[in-house]
Amino acid sequence: MADNVFYVIDTSSIVHMEVTYPRSNFPNVWNKCARLINQRRLGAPDVVFVELKRQDELVVGSLLEWIEMHKNRLFYSPTDETTRQVSKVMKQFKHLISRTSELEKADPYIVAMARERAMNPTFDNREIIVVTNEKISKPSQKDRKIPGVCAFYDLKCIDLLDMIKQEGWVFH
């Protein structure tokens, strides 16, 4: 377990958790994520909540119930510094959000939240790790996907399964 880590989780990883580890079949995955939330070690910008609510076909039943239950501790409102970081990220990575998609608006906020916390030495001296299930499949996507932007800013970026492994979670 890595108690000194704060994870900034992306919409894609929360949706991936619902699809790959349904709560009815894998309750311990969800319980352990809830524990991270309660320990203030897992969070997301509140725009992730908005994105999740827009995905009607995926955010039904169990996932909607779970995000509503954890809404006040999982989702963070942007600070002034987050907003400044979003501007910097968008200036550097103009294609990070698609003008045609309604579902990619959180990406600069994910990176900005991670940057803000990584640059703040008073943030409990925690390592900041972005959790996203976005993948870069071709070089032209590196400025359009969270992993490429994180690499540019020297932010560690892993997927949900790697977070489970890093936390040392074992399920029997």
Query: pLDDT band at residue 43, thresholds of 50, 70 and 90?
Result: very high
Q: How confident is the model at residue 162, as a pLDDT?
A: 96
Specify the fold of 5-167.
Rossmann fold (3.40.50)
3-state secondary structure 75-140: EECCCHHHHHHHHHHHHHCCCCCCCCCCCCCCHHHHHHHHHHHHHCCCCCCCEEEEECCCCCCCHH
- The mean per-residue pLDDT over the stretch 102-129 comes to 85
Q: Where are the domains of the chain?
A: 5-167
CB–CB of 118/155 below 8 Å? Answer: yes
What lies within 8 Å, CB to CB, of 2 at 6+ separation is: 127, 166, 167
Radius of gyration of the chain (CA): 15
Whether 61 shows a pLDDT value over 70: the answer reads no
- The mean per-residue pLDDT over the stretch 100-107 comes to 70
